[in-house]
Structure 1
Amino acid sequence: MPMEPIPDLAMLDLASIVKLMEERRLPPVDRWNPSHCGDAEMRIARDGTWYHQGSPIGRPTMVRLFSTVLRREPDSGFVLVTPVEKLSIEVEDAPFLATALKVEGKGRATRLAFQLNTGDLVTAGAEHPLRFEEGEDGPRPYLHVRGGLEALVARPVYYELAELALAGEQSGSSGPGLWSDGAFFPLAAA
């Protein structure tokens, strides 16, 4: 089954983004419970690069395919899972990286759509909240993707979010923040 091409976020309006998100069918990894088979010898680096046995995986379609069978376990570990096997995978920070942002609307009617390094599209909102952590290198924003899996928001995209929040249109009772799809996300770390 061939993977669909990665959409160009800049060329899509929000209605098209939502339609693409709804059409995306992911394997039911939450229902698969095979025995643990070992280590996949794979790692996802802080910058979103996927590695196998120490070498970067250079084929984006392979990364996209592996990302569809990635699952977060109750012990907070990460695995690649199929109906017949489960393999551990190391994740240095977050398994995905939000690399692009599309903003539509103003104030409470704003919608923020993110494109991930895997080509996936996610609109921030109640089902996909944004959260901010304070890190050694400053604020670290994260976007919930699915099933306990998050995307670290890339620094350039974070600057776009901060500019939007500080422009004044996005403030709430708890100070500067961001509205998206009817939900408010304070800019400060909780």
Structure 2
Amino acid sequence: MAYDPPPELGAMSLLEIAEAARARRLPPVEEWSPARTVDSRMRIAADGTWFHDGSPIRRPAMVRAFASLLMREGDGAYYLVTPQVRQSIAVEDAAFLAVDCRADGDALAFRLNTDELVLAGPENPLRAEGDPDLPAIYLSVRRGCEARLDRSTWLQLADMALGEDGALTVSSQGATFDLVPA
């Protein structure tokens, strides 16, 4: 089965972005409660690279498939969940990277390193961590997982945020987010 990535964010309207995000069919991981837990021998590096047994996973389709099974528990542990087993996976920073951003009307749309599209808002908030001079911005994606904005996406967002009053805030779908860590 061929994979057709979504078009570039700049070529899509807000409605098209919202429809693409809604149309993504994900496995019902939340409904599965496997009794067995094993180590997947996988990790996600801070730069978004997925590894298995120390070797990078070079097939984007495999990364997308694994990402669709990913969830984060309340204690911060990450798992790949199937109906039969949940497999622990090490995550160095965030499970995903936000690699592009676009403002359209009252919404901010992000493309992840897995080609997923996410609209920031009350269900997918942005949060700032770290040092005010060099913040790390995270976007809630799903199932407790987040995407860290890469440098170019952070700069795109900062350009959008710079207001006349000097505040670094952005709004999306009725929610306002401060881009400076508290």
Task: Sort the TM-score into its range (normalised by shorter chain).
Answer: over 0.9
Number of equivalences: 181
User: Which residue in the other structure is 2:180 paired with?
Assistant: 188
**Deviation, structure 1 residue 3:** 6.5
Gaps of 5+ in 1: none
User: Which residue in the other structure is 1:93 paired with?
Assistant: 93
**What pairs with 1:130-141 in structure 2 (closer than 5 Å)?**
130-135=126-131, 138-141=134-137
Aligned counterparts of 2:172 and 2:179: Cα–Cα separation in 1: 13
Q: CA RMSD in A?
A: 1.8
- Tell me, what secondary structure is at the counterpart of 1:58? coil
One-letter identity of the residue aligned with 2:175: A
Distance 1:55-1:74 versus aligned 2 partners, 3 A rule: same
Normalised to the residue count of structure 1, the TM-score between the two structures is 0.89
Aligned counterparts of 1:40 and 1:145: Cα–Cα separation in 2: 22
User: Which residue in the other structure is 2:117 paired with?
Assistant: 121
**Deviation, structure 1 residue 65:** 0.3
User: Which residue in the other structure is 1:154 paired with?
Assistant: 150
User: Which residue in the other structure is 2:169 paired with?
Assistant: 177
Deviates more, 1:114-123 or 1:36-45: 36-45
User: Which residue in the other structure is 1:73 paired with?
Assistant: 73
Distance 1:19-1:57 versus aligned 2 partners, 3 A rule: same
Aligned counterparts of 2:132 and 2:53: Cα–Cα separation in 1: 29
Gaps of 5+ in 2: none
Deviations 1:126-166 (A, max 9, x none): 00000000149810000000121100011111011111111
- Tell me, what secondary structure is at the counterpart of 1:126? coil
Asked if 1 retains the 8 angstrom alpha-carbon contact of 2:132 and 2:181, the reply is: no
User: Which residue in the other structure is 1:52 paired with?
Assistant: 52
User: Which residue in the other structure is 1:112 paired with?
Assistant: 108
One-letter identity of the residue aligned with 1:180: S
**Deviation, structure 1 residue 31:** 1.3
Distance 1:3-1:88 versus aligned 2 partners, 3 A rule: farther
Which 4+ residue blocks in structure 1 deviate beyond 6 angstroms?
A: none
Aligned counterparts of 2:150 and 2:99: Cα–Cα separation in 1: 6
User: Which residue in the other structure is 1:20 paired with?
Assistant: 20
- Tell me, what secondary structure is at the counterpart of 2:123? coil
Deviations 1:52-91 (A, max 9, x none): 1111100000000000001112321001110001111000
Asked if 1 retains the 8 angstrom alpha-carbon contact of 2:38 and 2:85, the reply is: no
**Deviation, structure 1 residue 10:** 2.6
One-letter identity of the residue aligned with 2:124: H
